[in-house]
Chain A
Amino acid sequence: MPPQDEHALIEASRAGDSGALDALIRSHQARVYSFAMRMCRNVEDAKDILQETFLGMLRSIREFRGESKFTTWLYRIASNACLKKRRRGVFEPQPDQEMSLDELMPRPGPDGRKPEIPDWSEDAERALLRGELSAQMEAAIDRLPREYKIVLVLRDVEGFSAEEAAQMLNLSVPAVKSRLHRARVFVRQELSRYFKDQEKV
């Protein structure tokens, strides 16, 4: 939607125009749902998050003053709803679990030699074409502690900037960058494992 159209819809929504509110919801519902599904991987939970997000939007749209982008503001509500949600029937990695860079950094060989780091970037393109990679990626992302996962999803999957993610999560930009790096290194490690196993096959 062109920014001027969205601006008009937001203004009309703030003034209580229900048609404008409905149009605003329709223009964001697919993206918020996809984000919620990625975070909780469960239709019922994603539905709850979707409903909570737009109810939050309805209740507080009058307070939206345009100091941040509307999407940033909306995702702040959605992110809070995701972080509050306890997942059903799925193993939840320990919340607030610190991911240590020392543990994530490749170790040198027992003789002190540099570790072998295979470059699987070309293999990844082929696996993607064969449709094999998405499930591996989703599973790897899902193994991240939630505080790290949400940063990776906002930055790398949804494509928001570090500044936007920081506003959504009420974190500093360095904190977002630090979590993103750890989360990416972890997912990279999981993919490396997958490609190593594929080689054996």
Chain B
Amino acid sequence: MTEYEPSRFHPKHGMAMTCREMFERLSEYVDGELSQQICEEIQRHMEGCEPCVAFAKTLKKTADLCRRLPSRPIPPEVAADLRIFLAAHLPKPK
């Protein structure tokens, strides 16, 4: 991965994406939000760019790890305080 690598001409596929262009779109790529054409361009770039492959894998892993963070259980006293706090504001039972 280089900072401002110019677009390169790929003998089979025409213009290849630069590291920088790819870097900008990697989250959308790992989230599956890009068109097939752009995904193919990214895949072509990655065939010849080991740092970009490692970056994409670890970026995807970062998002996966966030999804697996344990939730914070609500302490019973916080739930009880919420009831007390809201009691004054709840409409009277019908």
Q: Report the stretch among B6-14, B37-45, B47-55 that lies at the interface.
A: B47-55
A33 adjacent to B78 (CB under 8 Å): yes
0/1 interface trace, chain B 59-94, chain A, CB 8 Å (1 if under) = 111110111111111110011011001100111111
Chain A CB count within 10 A is highest, among B2, B3, B62, B74, for: B62
* Distance of A156 Cα from B59 Cα, bound (Å): 12
Determine how close the nearest CB of chain B comes to the CB of A88; give it in whole angstroms: 16
B82 adjacent to A128 (CB under 8 Å): no
0/1 interface trace, chain A 4-30, chain B, CB 8 Å (1 if under) = 000000000000111101100100011
Partner of A114, one of B31, B49, B65: B49
B66 adjacent to A181 (CB under 8 Å): no
Partner of A22, one of B1, B55, B90: B90
Q: Find the B residue at minimum CB distance from A157.
A: B66
Given A107-B3, A117-B1, A124-B65, A58 contacting B90 (CB threshold 8 A): yes
Residues of chain B contacted by A106 (CB below 8 angstroms): 1, 51, 55
0/1 interface trace, chain B 20-36, chain A, CB 8 Å (1 if under) = 10011011100101000
Q: Does A138 contact B (CB under 8 A)?
A: yes
Determine how close the nearest CB of chain B comes to the CB of A82; give it in whole angstroms: 14
Given A18-B91, A47-B81, A152-B66, A105 contacting B54 (CB threshold 8 A): no
Residues of chain A contacted by B92 (CB below 8 angstroms): 18
Q: Find the A residue at minimum CB distance from B93.
A: A18
Partner of A121, one of B20, B49, B57, B68: B57
* Distance of A112 Cα from B2 Cα, bound (Å): 8
B59 adjacent to A188 (CB under 8 Å): yes
B residues with CB within 8 A of A: 1-3, 19-20, 23-24, 26-28, 31, 33, 49-55, 57-63, 65-75, 78-79, 81-82, 85-86, 89-94
Pairs A–B under 8 Å by Cβ, sample size 30: A25-B82, A29-B82, A33-B72, A47-B82, A51-B81, A58-B90, A105-B20, A106-B1, A108-B3, A117-B51, A117-B58, A121-B60, A124-B61, A128-B65, A133-B65, A134-B69, A138-B69, A141-B66, A159-B67, A177-B28, A177-B33, A180-B27, A181-B26, A181-B28, A184-B27, A187-B62, A188-B55, A188-B59, A191-B58, A191-B65
